[in-house]
Amino acid sequence: MALDDAMRARLLGHLRAHPRKTITNTQLKSAAVALTLLPDLRGEACFLLTRRVGSLNHHGGQFALPGGRLDAGEGPLEAARRELEEELGVAREAQHVLGMLDDFTTRSGFVITPVVLWAADVHLLKPAPCEVAIVYRVPVRNLYRPGAPVLEPSPDGEGPLLSFPLVGTHIHSPTAAILYQMREVAFEGRATRVDHYAQPRFAWK
């Protein structure tokens, strides 16, 4: 999958046509994540995935998309771009935003807004050692592997657990649900909702 102008135009069209679901709940903490599309050495479309430093107080050692809580006065577009630069040294401007996916509520009390960013000109990453243990460029085509995503029953009796086999492990929701919606909405133009997917206990405990 080449990261080219045709892909950018297709993603823009799909994201603009998507009737985005928003969540307004003042009791939830607001956060944003960056779904950053950039090339590998062959020009293939990839997205950025990180593994958090194990010593962090919250979700240490877990796999995640770059992102975090909104600062005072920030919206999700600004927060996603700021967090991407703080975590990985990738500076993006407003014109690099392709669109947003549905808000996603986590069991840990956050509402996450996923922001899709175009970074075709980005080649150098500078992970912040205090936050990021490893950063991966994951080919988008890996989201289309046979049998992906994986669906399993939730032990808590809620919706199904969704995961993706990526980077030698299984990436679980909420990250997996957000990646699935990126595949379905941004790349395929399908109005797919993901808020019914459950989150494993380790992701929020």
**pLDDT lower than 50: segments of the chain:** none
Give the H or E element holding residue 51.
strand 45-52
Residue 10 contacts by C-beta under 8 Å, 6 or more apart in sequence?
187, 189
pLDDT at 154: 84
Alpha-carbon distance 103 to 36, whole Å?
17
Number of helices followed by number of strands (H, E) in the chain: 3, 11
Widest distance between CA atoms in the chain: 45
pLDDT at 25: 85
For residue 98, what are the CA distances in angstroms to 109, 116, 168?
27, 5, 29
Residue 117 contacts by C-beta under 8 Å, 6 or more apart in sequence?
34, 35, 36, 37, 80, 81, 84, 92, 96, 97, 98
CB atoms within 10 A of CB 31: 22
Instruction: Read off the pTM.
Output: 0.95
pLDDT at 116: 98
pLDDT at 45: 98
Closest CA to 204 of 133, 103, 114, 109: 109
Alpha-carbon distance 44 to 167, whole Å?
17
**What is the residue whose two structure tokens read 């808020």?**
195
Tokens encoding 14 = 């799909």
Alpha-carbon distance 133 to 198, whole Å?
26
